[in-house]
Chain A
Amino acid sequence: MATTTPRSKTFKSPTKTPTTNNIYRKSYLSPSLTPQTPQTITPLRRSARHVSRRIDLGNEPIDVPENESKEEMNLIRKRERAPPRKQSVDDVSEKPKKPQSLKTPTKKTKVDSEVSFSPVSPNRTEKRKNKSEEVKKTKTKKRVYYNRVEFDETGFEIGDDVYVKRREDANSDEEDPEIEDCKICFKSGGSDDVMLECDDCLGGFHLKCLKPPLKDVPEGDWICQFCEVKKSGGPSQTLVVPKPPEGKKLARTMREKLLSSDLWAARIEKLWKEVGDGVYWIRVRWYMIPEETVSGRQPHNLKRELYLTNDFADIEMDCVLRHCFVKCPKEFSKASNDGDDVFLCEYEYDVHWHSFKRLAELVDGDSDSDQEWNGRKEEEVDDSDEEVEVEEDEESVRGDSKSKRGLTSVKGGANSRKGRFFGLEKVGAKQIPEHVRCHKQTELEKAKATLLLATRPKSLPCRNREMEEITAFIKGSISDDQCLGRCMYIHGVPGTGKTISVLSVMKNLKAEVEAGNVSPYCFVEINGLKLASPENIYSVIYEALSGHRVGWKKALHSLNERFAEGKNIGKEDDKPCILLIDELDLLVTRNQSVLYNILDWPTKPNSKLIVLGIANTMDLPEKLLPRISSRMGIQRLCFGPYNHTQLQEIISTRLNGIDAFEKTAIEFASRKVAAISGDARRALEICRRAAEVADHRLKTNKSAKSQLVIMGDVEAAIQEMFQAPHIQVMKSVSKLSKIFLTAMVHELYKTGMAETTFDRVATTISSICLTNGEAFPGWDILLKIGCDLGECRIILCEPGEKHRLQKLQLNFPSDDVAFALKDNKDLPWLANYL
């Protein structure tokens, strides 16, 4: 009978690959099983199923074997993606069965769990012995960490998913049926009974208890008759869910308890034993059922869906009931016949932000498991202070964990470590090579490093007044209980410390918030240049406030609700919001609606929005529509260009403690910059370049007595920086080009006209060449030279097809040309014509 049943594979767990721990599992599995499915001859007719009022299937003769408790039954989970397998069953008897669908040590667990609060459970020590080969000791100081622990005859290892008791009802349930009762006959299982699972209520039904009895497991979705009636909305009297027989307590399986949140599911992250009292502990990562999330159960949630959270807890091992199996969708679809404890997890749920994130699909590369282990190790070190890691043991642990990790993640299936990001601590951290660290920095190198624009200065001199004003503005706005929205417009030429001043003010404020002097606020920083389009600012603001990323239209709608109407969008709402918009002028659209909206919100009651706008343009508000400048208010702050004393102070503060510059050199650089632009960035760049020049000079000329940057270096740096590149180009062009340029300057002097033709220039060149004994190169070559100079934009010329009639014009002042060509060694006579 059994050999002919099409449901042979039922007992084979498809997800279990034959691995080491599978072998291990065998040891505690119940010896064998006899898979039986009832062989009914009637063909499967789902359409013929009809609703009957009188379902009294319990009376029907079911041949129930005597040893019912030992009987195995098969709960078939059936889902549309997983067509039932039709294979012969005879090979199954040899196969090990999955532990959870077999007789499991439930009762034992029960006993244990009842004594769960006693510090030591008696059978632990002896268990420890016989599995010493599986347990890797990492270190025995205070805690001993394991990759695998045998507990109550069940092996738990990192990455396993388990049921965990909720503390409060640890003793509430007297029994834990491994297999659920049939919803109709209320008998659990039956020797040769296949149980069919309803896709809606997850209830189990014996095939033969159904009306009409089914011989085979139907294809596709199957919904029990009760649910069908419920769904169709028919009169409820037509079909009554059968009441359980008197006196029989309706036992619930763990799966039912979990889904009604009487149990928890969790994934084991770490296993350890406290050496002091010998208690086993695990660190678990919780799963959550959809009902427990903030959005509740959604229509698209599957019945067996769970969410992996980023919530961790350390619990005692006693709380663990037994294994369950949380799988990724792909494996879940295959695992239709794996018993009752299979769950699906596709998304990770962030308990703080209430956001969902799809878990990364599993890619099991060996290359990164090492790295992951490192990350883990750090985590462990962070968690427990007493723990000491020993270097020599680590290697073996690592190797072990690598194999185990690969294994467990395949088995656990829900996640690879790749999908995990908790905060930013590891992002961008790079190991600094050893040789760099031992290198002793010279003063000049230190100076170069500290003068880099990217280096954040420790203090900001010369902007105290402005910073005070900003601080007063923000404090005055947010300190009130009822925060009043305001705007401030900060303007100034580039390189005058606008953004950095605001940011340092915000940093100070943050410290004050932590100290409790200022009420908390949320700070959103936006750079207009980084927005793909001005409208995108809405999504950026919304994401910063709520943690969700939505399109700008929806974001605008939500922000309008929040600021204009005072509705809440996130949980951080009652806090005032400070919005810093750098490069405000880039938000100006054609009808300026973006700026209007942003500046209109602070004028609304309950907006609690403070806008700080930064731009270069002094008169931006005046350039905007009057309605916008009216809303912008009158709070302006001007960052003027630095004068030379300020620049000097800025550079000296940066170089504080580094003796690399002569005082006069700094003064020279700052005076030069202050005369032209007052841009601090440029002053720093000049000094840095001067340090480089000095470095080079000192390396080539070892005999120099002073190791400082002197005026000459600064001068050279300024020459490089301020002198336009065209001079360099003109100095290095070919001989004929130089003659060509000289002829043009000469022509300009003679005629006084800016524009000349190629014809005339060529004539001049020929006459010049004649008088100075140069060979006249010929028209073709001259034309080519003219075109080349035109390409470099040293001269402006018309397209070449006009040949000799094309008009030419110098692109730079003739003085520059004269300056560049004056001291030419090859052609000293050029100076005569300039």
Chain B
Amino acid sequence: MPAIAGPSSSPQKHVVGSRLEVTGGLRSAEVNTCRKRKLRSDSAAEVSSSTPVNSISTPMKRCAVPIPKTSDEEIKEDSNGNLANPVISAAKNLDVESKWNPRDEEQMKAVKEALHVSKAPSTVVCREDEQRRVSEFVKSCMEQNKAGSLYICGCPGTGKSLSMEKVRQQAEDWAKQAGLPCPETVSVNCTSLTKTTDIFSKILGKNEFGRKANGSSSPLQKLQSLFSQKQQQSSSKMMIIIADEMDYLITRDRGVLHELFMLTTLPFSSCILIGVANAIDLADRFLPKLKSLNCKPLVVTFRAYSKEQILRILQERLVGLPYVAFQSNALEICARKVSAASGDMRKALCVCRSALEILGIEAKGSIDQQPQGPVQEYEVVKMDHMLAALSKTFKSPVVDTIQSLPQHQQIIVCSAAKAFRGSKKDRTIAELNKLYLAICKSSTITPAGITEFTNMCTVLNDQGILKLSQARDDKLRRVSLRVDEADITFALKEIRFFRNCLI
């Protein structure tokens, strides 16, 4: 091995190279080391241009491979860092995948960035169908030059807003190709409105065709008059209004939402309204009148992501990176868990990031332990990292919380568990206090006073263990249990003191 390493080979690269090599099959170690000699800095750019897809396809095997040891000599040589090696250029082409090193800040950063919510992927995968339906709707409206409304619903984190952004761009591109006038787009996030009626002035703000209406009428009236009159020649421009989080527009009389949809029914209206919200039946519940007018919006539902979809999206995001940071079954377990829980893509991304951070901490720890160690492991995020991240996210913290409570609060929880054992659903604080006093007396503990008791109940309420309802009098507040009694029994059975109480 030392002979092969030559004057300038880097042991790190060397190691990775050999690891990769084994997966590919048997080759001579000589070729292997040569191949891996390259500049780290340009490796990313180089590789991403070649075949990045490969990196996804073989991650599992790679981790399983034992890591060959390198001699100390090589490390010394490496520290000199003779990077200007003529072999490099030749090696580049052969090099398909660069190494992944969790200790490398740059790489870590790049992966984190790829996993960040704000980084929109260039193409929205797994939402092609919905996207197509929306853009077809927009296109047909634009072709016929008629107004229309669309309602998009779906759980949080299912790519609604992202898809709308894409649809918007598509519509503009399509209009250019089709020779239609480019549509104006107004995208409003309704949470950022200070008043619900502000949405009309926002729409109007984009819709000014240089006309000056009389200042007295409200933006809504202006819009209405604009759409109910025959337009001049310039009016063939369509307008796409995307109202994100539309349910924030719901007022008590539902006036704003109603008027907004009614804009599309006006005779010379030219706006395509796309509303986005979580509730599936917003249109039915709040706009019954629209049905009678036969202009009920078309509904497109964004279903929660399935596990295959989540997996694909995660892979899609990571595919742009030149290195493999995640084991594929780790990604799969993440996808499974998240899809089972909520199907929220944001959550999946967060879990992946947190797993990555766990790995990073681990890698740093191993450096501290053996800073000069000749063997450096290149770990990817494996199952156990992912499981730790998942458990951090999805595990119910109840048991831990109860176990870490102060003793008196544990007694309260215990007495509550006893109190609600029967069919009774709730009790007043006074009743609970009586039970608590009984337990204290039986085990000769000085009980806390009633005010202190009430305070402790409030803290438990904050912790999500009890639920206190509001009442005129402190003593008359109803208490109910918010966690399962079995959880309490499980948590407290470890402590000998409570074993008798719970029976």
Q: Does A242 contact B (CB under 8 A)?
A: no
- B-side contacts of A829, CB under 8 Å: none
Q: Is B21 an interface residue (CB 8 A)?
A: no
Closest A-B pairs by Cβ, 8 of them? A630-B156, A724-B449, A619-B464, A627-B156, A553-B194, A605-B118, A593-B191, A634-B350
Asked if A319 is at the interface (CB within 8 A of a chain B CB), the reply is: no
Q: Is the CB of A677 within 8 A of B459?
A: yes
What are 21 pairs between A and B in contact, CB < 8 Å?
Answer: A480-B112, A494-B459, A553-B194, A602-B118, A603-B346, A616-B462, A617-B462, A617-B463, A617-B464, A618-B464, A634-B392, A640-B401, A643-B404, A675-B407, A676-B407, A676-B452, A676-B456, A677-B459, A678-B406, A811-B475, A816-B449
The interface residues of chain A lying within 8 Å CB-to-CB of B344 are 630
- Any chain A CB within 8 A of the CB of B157? yes
CA distance A607 to B117 in the complex (A): 12
Residues of B within 8 A of A766 (CB): none
- Chain B: CB-nearest residue to A485: B118
Q: In the bound complex, how far is the Cα of B407 from the Cα of A553, in angstroms?
A: 48
B32 CB within 8 Å of chain A: no
User: Does A635 make an interface contact (CB < 8 A)?
Assistant: yes
In the assembled complex, the CB of A79 is this many whole angstroms from the nearest CB of chain B, namely 34
- Tell me, in angstroms, the Cα distance from A557 to B459 when the chains sit together: 38
Q: Determine if B192 and A597 form an interchain contact, defined as CB atoms under 8 angstroms apart.
A: yes
C-alpha gap A725/B117 in the complex (Å): 54
Residue of B nearest to A793 (CB): B473
CB-based contact A677/B455 at 8 Å: yes
* Residues of B313-370 whose CB lies within 8 A of A: 342, 344, 346-347, 350-351, 354, 357, 361
A607 partner, pick from B118, B278, B448, beta carbons under 8 A: B118
Tell me, in angstroms, the Cα distance from A593 to B475 when the chains sit together.
Answer: 35
Query: Which B residues are in CB contact (< 8 Å) with A604?
Result: 118
C-alpha spacing A605/B404, complex, angstroms: 39
| B424 within 8 Å of A (CB atoms) | no
Q: Which residues of B have CB within 8 Å of A634?
A: 347, 350-351, 354, 392-393
Does A638 interact with chain B (Cβ within 8 Å)? yes
> Is A591 engaged at the interface, CB distance under 8 Å to the other chain?
yes
A484-B113 in contact (CB<8A): yes
A593-B191, A724-B450, A813-B437 given; A630·B347 CB < 8 A: yes
Give the CA-CA distance A556 to B190 in the complex, in Å: 12
Closest residue of chain B to A638 (Cβ to Cβ) is B397
Given contacts A634-B354, A722-B448, 4 further A-B contacts (CB under 8 A): A626-B278, A630-B346, A674-B406, A813-B434
Instruction: Name, among B119, B434, B449, the residue most crowded by chain A CB atoms within 10 Å (CB to CB).
Output: B449
Q: Is B120 in contact with chain A by the CB < 8 A criterion?
A: yes
Does B191 lie within 8 Å of A641, measured CB to CB? no
Asked if B405 is at the interface of the complex by the 8 Å CB criterion, the answer is yes
Chain A contacts with B in 557-573, Cβ cutoff 8 A: 557, 560, 564
| B interface list, Cβ under 8 A from A | 109, 112-113, 116-120, 155-157, 189, 191-192, 194, 245, 248, 278, 342, 344, 346-347, 350-351, 354, 357, 361, 392-393, 397, 401, 404-409, 433-434, 437, 448-452, 455-456, 459, 462-464, 473, 475
Whether the Cβ atoms of B459 and A484 lie closer than 8 Å is no
Instruction: Answer yes or no: A631 CB below 8 A from chain B CBs.
Output: yes
Judging by beta carbons under 8 Å apart, are B156 and A626 in contact? yes
User: Is B462 a contact partner of A603 (Cβ separation < 8 A)?
Assistant: no
- Bound complex: CA A20 to CA B112 (Å): 74
Minimum C-beta distance from B276 to chain A (A): 11
When chains A and B are docked, how far (Å) is the Cα of A757 from the Cα of B452? 29
Nearest B-chain residue to A477, judged by Cβ: B112
Inter-chain CA distance A631–B157, complex, in Å, is: 8
Q: Are A484 and B449 in contact (CB under 8 A)?
A: no
Please, which residues of chain B bring their CB within 8 A of the CB of A816?
Answer: 449-450
Chain A interface residue bracket vs B: 35 or more
Chain A residues near B473 (CB-CB < 8 A):
796
CB-nearest residue of chain A relative to B247?
A591
A253 to B407, CA, bound (A): 86
Interface residue A782 (Cβ < 8 Å from any Cβ of B): no
| Bound CA–CA A635/B347 (angstroms) | 10
A523 at the interface (CB under 8 A from B): no
How many whole Å from B439's CB to the nearest CB in chain A?
A: 14
Q: Decide if A618 touches B397 in the complex (CB within 8 Å).
A: yes
Chain A interface (Cβ < 8 Å from any Cβ of B): 472, 476, 480, 482, 484-485, 493-494, 552-553, 556-557, 560, 564, 591, 593, 596-597, 600, 602-607, 616-619, 622, 625-627, 629-631, 633-636, 638, 640-641, 643, 674-678, 722-725, 727, 796, 811-813, 815-816
**Whole-angstrom distance from the CB of A595 to the nearest CB of chain B?**
9
Q: Which residue of B lies closest to A641 (CB)?
A: B406
Q: What is the chain A residue whose CB lies nearest that of B357?
A: A476
Cα distance A603–B118 when bound, in Å? Answer: 5
| Minimum distance in angstroms from B337 CB to a CB of chain A | 12
Write the nearest CB–CB distance from B305 to chain A, whole angstroms.
Answer: 13
Minimum CB–CB distance from A577 to chain B (whole Å) comes to 15
* Docked pose: A602 CA to B118 CA in angstroms: 8
| Interchain CB contact under 8 A, A676 and B448 | yes
How close is A590's CB to chain B, nearest CB, in angstroms? 11
Cβ-closest chain A residue relative to B108: A476
The closest CB in chain A to the CB of B155 belongs to A626
Contacts of A638 in B (CB 8 A): 397, 401
Inter-chain contacts of A641 with B (CB < 8 A): 404-406
Determine how close the nearest CB of chain A comes to the CB of B338; give it in whole angstroms.
10
Note all chain B residues with C-beta closer than 8 A to A640. Answer: 401, 404
Q: How far is the CB of A494 from chain B (nearest CB, A)?
A: 8
Kindly list chain A residues whose C-beta atoms are within 8 Å of the C-beta of B464: 617-619, 622
A7 to B45, CA, bound (A): 83
B433's partner among A606, A616, A813 (CB-CB below 8 A) is A813
Q: When the two chains form their complex, are residues B191 and A596 in contact, meaning their CB atoms are under 8 A apart?
A: yes
CB distance from B320 to the nearest CB of A (A): 15
A607 and B118 CA atoms in complex are apart in Å by 9
Known: A560-B192, A722-B449, A813-B437. A480 touches B113 (CB 8 A): yes
Residues on the A chain within 8 Å of B455, using CB: 677
Is A812 within 8 A of B450, CB to CB?
Answer: yes
B248 touches A593 (CB 8 A): yes
Q: How far is the CB of B278 from chain A (nearest CB, A)?
A: 6
A591 touches B156 (CB 8 A): no
Q: CA separation between A603 and B406, bound complex, in Å? A: 38
A604 and B455 alpha carbons, distance in the complex (Å): 41
Distance of A620 Cα from B189 Cα, bound (Å): 24
CB-CB under 8 A from A485, the residues of chain B are 118
Contact A596 B462 (CB under 8 A): no
Complex formed: what's the CA distance from A812 to B450 in Å? Answer: 8
Chain A residues whose C-beta falls within 8 Å of the C-beta of B401 in the assembled complex: 618, 638, 640
Residues of B within 8 A of A616 (CB): 459, 462
Chain B neighbourhood of A494, CB < 8 A:
459
Q: Is the CB of A677 within 8 A of B350?
A: no
* Complex CA–CA separation, A677 to B462 (angstroms): 13
State the CA gap A183–B432 with chains docked (Å).
95
With contact pairs A618-B462, A627-B278 given, residues A676 and B450 touching in the complex (Cβ less than 8 Å): no
Q: How far is the CA of A629 from the CA of B155 in the complex (A)?
A: 12
Closest to B448 in A: A676
By the criterion CB–CB under 8 Å, are A627 and B350 in contact?
A: no
CB distance from B42 to the nearest CB of A (A): 19
Return chain A residues, CB-CB under 8 Å to B191.
593, 596-597, 600
Q: From residue A512, how far is it (CB to closest CB) to chain B in Å?
A: 16
What is the distance, in angstroms, from B465's C-beta to the closest C-beta of chain A? 9
Q: How close is B444's CB to chain A, nearest CB, in angstroms?
A: 14
| Cross-chain contact B350 with A635 (CB below 8 angstroms) | yes
Q: Are B408 and A676 in contact (CB under 8 A)?
A: yes
Bound-complex Cα distance A627 to B155 (A): 8
Distance in Å from the Cβ of A497 to the closest Cβ of chain B? Answer: 15
Complex CA–CA separation, A627 to B189 (angstroms):
13
Residue of A nearest to B110 (CB): A480
A643: chain B residues at CB < 8 Å are 404
- What are the residues of chain A within 8 A of B393 when measuring CB–CB? 634
User: What residues of chain B lie closer than 8 Å to A482, measured between beta carbons?
Assistant: 113
Pick the contact of A484: B112, B248, B357, B408 (CB < 8 A): B112
- Minimum C-beta distance from A741 to chain B (A): 16
In the complex, what distance in Å separates the CA atom of A525 from the CA atom of B80? 47
